[in-house]
Amino acid sequence: MRSLLRTLECATLRDIALVCCADALVGASFGAISVSGGLPLWVPVAMSVLVFAGGSQFAAVGIVLSGGGALAAVVTGLVLNARLLPFGFTVADALDGPRWRRLLGAQLLTDESAAFTLLESDPRRRRAAYWVCGLALFAVWNVAVVVGAAAGGLIGDTDALGLDAAFPAVLLALVLPALGDRRTRTAALAGAAVAVAATPYVPAGLPVLLALAGLLFAGRPAATAASEVVCEPASGPVPQETVPLTEEVRRCP
């Protein structure tokens, strides 16, 4: 773990710590809401260890506390977590090693760990960002849930405290630097428009998946450079092995 910490810059570690602080507030509110709503303490604790997905946990507990069945809660959680499937493809390179390590790493996949991984381009830093963020969030989240569940109804209405806005605010801060790229900004805005338009008409969780349609508006990347032109001397042809097949060969005037 110490080697992973040394791999990352201080700014990255600071940002991960801030995300952990925000998630701690949300985790504590989840534990308190679950217990104050009538669920035994072990339920939110077990969900946090086995599921480890804040949005899915809130949705499942909300359905159960409102009188819904366990099947509806499970299906809702699966729909919400389906957004992590494309994230898994993009950060798969950070999960190398034996199968047990990859399985453990898959459990740590969250919006935050994927976001920090995508901010890094170096393979070593990508791996370090994923594991440091994932392990730190797992520890902080589960401790916060236990504390909140033990506190019971002390937190009460999390909406009144603004804790429900912690997740989107943190994620927005993480993606803002990437919006400087025009193609990324276009895809993000298009995806957000699709998600907002679909929200009143589809079940919870689906708008996030439909937002992937924004990738269709990103367009193809522009060519980095025009094909290199190789000037062939008038006195004779250029040896074929020195000219890549993708280059255009012209004679000098």
pLDDT score recorded for residue 167: 54
Looking at the domain assignment, is residue 185 inside a domain? Answer: no
Q: Can you tell me which residue has the tokens 């937190």?
A: 155
Looking at the domain assignment, is residue 167 inside a domain? Answer: yes
Tallying the residues shown for the chain, one arrives at: 253
Looking at the domain assignment, is residue 84 inside a domain? Answer: yes
**Farthest CA pair distance, the chain:** 90
pLDDT score recorded for residue 161: 63
Predicted model pTM: 0.64
Looking at the domain assignment, is residue 76 inside a domain? Answer: yes
Q: How far is CA 134 from CA 50, 110, 151, 176, in A?
A: 14, 7, 26, 21
Residues forming a β-bridge with 249: 230
d(CA 115, CA 133): 10
Residue 32: which domain range? Answer: 2-180
In the predicted model, residues of the chain with pLDDT beneath 70 are 1-5, 153-171, 173-175, 178, 203-206, 208-209, 219-253
Domain count, the chain: 1
Looking at the domain assignment, is residue 170 inside a domain? Answer: yes
The token duo for 39 is 């669920």
Looking at the domain assignment, is residue 42 inside a domain? Answer: yes
pLDDT score recorded for residue 141: 94
d(CA 45, CA 155): 17
Query: Beta strands 248-251 and 229-232: pairing type?
Result: parallel
Q: Can you tell me which residue has the tokens 């969250």?
A: 110
The DSSP H or E segment spanning 17 is helix 10-36
Torsion angles phi and psi, residue 85, rounded to 5:
-60, -50
Query: Is 148 in contact with 29 (CB distance < 8 Å)?
Result: yes
Looking at the domain assignment, is residue 117 inside a domain? Answer: yes
Measured in whole angstroms, the distance separating CA 107 from the mean position of its chain's CA atoms is 13
Looking at the domain assignment, is residue 133 inside a domain? Answer: yes
Instruction: DSSP for 130-154, please give it.
Output: HHHHHHHHHHHHHHHHHHHHHHGGG
